[in-house]
Amino acid sequence: MRIIDIREDLARSRSRKYATRPLRKIEKLVVHHSGTRGGTPKSFAWYHVHARGWPGIGYHYVISPDGVVFKTNALTTVSYHARGANLGGVGICLVGDFNRSEPTDAQMEALTELLGLLLHHHPGAEIVLHREVKGSRTSCPGLKFPAEGLPR
């Protein structure tokens, strides 16, 4: 698995900042889809900052259809990706709309490897889908997302 750190290349608010947390506070690894047919970490960051008014991109990692993993936030960042799970959550977004189609094999392989790596460093963390976060009203990561393939 290849992880490309692009944190410094993404849009950020000039006036707003995300809170931070100690790594020991990580308790959930939250899986998302972008809900779009395409897109890049840069386009998602631009949208989160300029359309939503957030301090930066909401995800910690974005996985492209070819399986490349982009690091988009420090794990100490409390970003906005799943209300109710942001304080202790790591947001992992797969590019695609999985209400329409399934993720690519490359995405699922990269996600499985990334989750394994994160669980190694945060053994008490739980893997959850965004829709499983208490109070969520979303189908994210999509109705065609193969959740049974995730380590749980």
pLDDT digits (tens, 9 = 90+) for 5-61: 999 999 999 999 999 999 999 999 999 999 999 999 999 999 999 999 999 999 999
pLDDT at 135 over 80: yes
Give domain status of residue 128, yes or no.
Answer: yes
pLDDT of residue 1: 85
Prior bond of 141 cis (ω within 30°): yes
Helix (H, G, I), strand (E, B) or coil at 84: coil
Confidence of residue 106 (pLDDT cuts 50, 70, 90): very high
Pairing of strands 61-63, 3-5: unpaired
Residue 72 lies in domain: 3-11+20-145
Q: Which residues pair with 74 in a beta bridge?
A: none
In the chain, how many domains are there? 1
Give domain status of residue 27, yes or no.
Answer: yes
| CATH code, domain with 55 | 3.40.80.10
Helix (H, G, I), strand (E, B) or coil at 41: helix
What whole-number distance in Å separates Cα of residue 44 and Cα of residue 120? 28
What whole-number distance in Å separates Cα of residue 74 and Cα of residue 92? 12
Residue 31: name the closest of 94, 78, 108, 100 by CA.
94
Count Cβ atoms below 10 Å from residue 49 Cβ, excluding itself: 20
What distances in angstroms separate CA 138 from CA 55, 61, 130, 131, one per listed residue? Answer: 23, 20, 8, 5
pLDDT of residue 41: 98
Rounded to two decimals, what is the model's pTM?
0.97
pLDDT of residue 65: 98
Give domain status of residue 150, yes or no.
Answer: no
pLDDT of residue 86: 98
Q: Which residues pair with 45 in a beta bridge?
A: none
Give domain status of residue 152, yes or no.
Answer: no
